[in-house]
Structure 1
């Protein structure tokens, strides 16, 4: 029940942001900031509570798994549908394939480099 109500709440927040952006960019920005201010405190408090009482690595593993699930379950089928609908020639098939894979490999490489060199990164 809590999960369903939270999902509905977030959906309504998204609808409010989308509707306000259609009226004006400034109103969309102000609605987004208002929703951020409303969401941030209780989700941050819950994150701190869970992070202190459980291993943070488990939380990171769950978040990483969710990102992978979203990319595999949502993005790949969408990329294939786009390729089937808009591309007719053989040369453009290969071009779209290369662009899509270059984008994914760039993202994977960035995350890998951040993971490998996270201990050496210093913000001055």
Structure 2
């Protein structure tokens, strides 16, 4: 049975997303679930390293001379995610203000859940870009497409582990975290199909999409995760956090060096 280029793009983008999400879930929900608080530090390392060592350099290379537009997009993305979180917090506090009741069961999880929703937005954009990259590679050569998909799976696994840990930390159940991550993974298929039909326009938009996804990762790491880590100021805990951040960076550096 032979597949058309479009069918191959759909199969491979769906498969790449599924493999990376299921691998990350199997690790996050078994080995790492019991130490999720410590693993927040690993997530910070992974998110920041993915952003500064992979996504942003790739965006700047693609954009060429339009670097100042990308920095404006990065600033807009950071402010945009700040506003999204602010609206969510204001809406939530207004809903409970003066209602004569204490905070309902699960209130804290809802408050923490804002970072979970934002990581899903950023991850969806990132997956869309991955789909565009896979489609572009397949339209050059099938073998190039397969190698590109393998490289994307390799760098997606640590990022998806980071995402799962953030979702669990934000109060999502294991099943809910898995389902939402799977839906986010479908954006790769959408990106692949759209790139097949509108490759030139998709390529033009790609640097900006990468920067917006990067802005969400930076915002979540700096605004939500690092303040959580500062609430545990003991020196043993601080040392553990530094080691885990370094491990997260190391994972991304290793996979980036071996698959680019």
Q: TM-score range by the shorter chain?
A: 0.3 to 0.5
TM-score w.r.t. the length of structure 2 is 0.26
Which one has more relative contact order, counting CA pairs under 8 Å at least 6 apart?
2
Higher Rg: 1
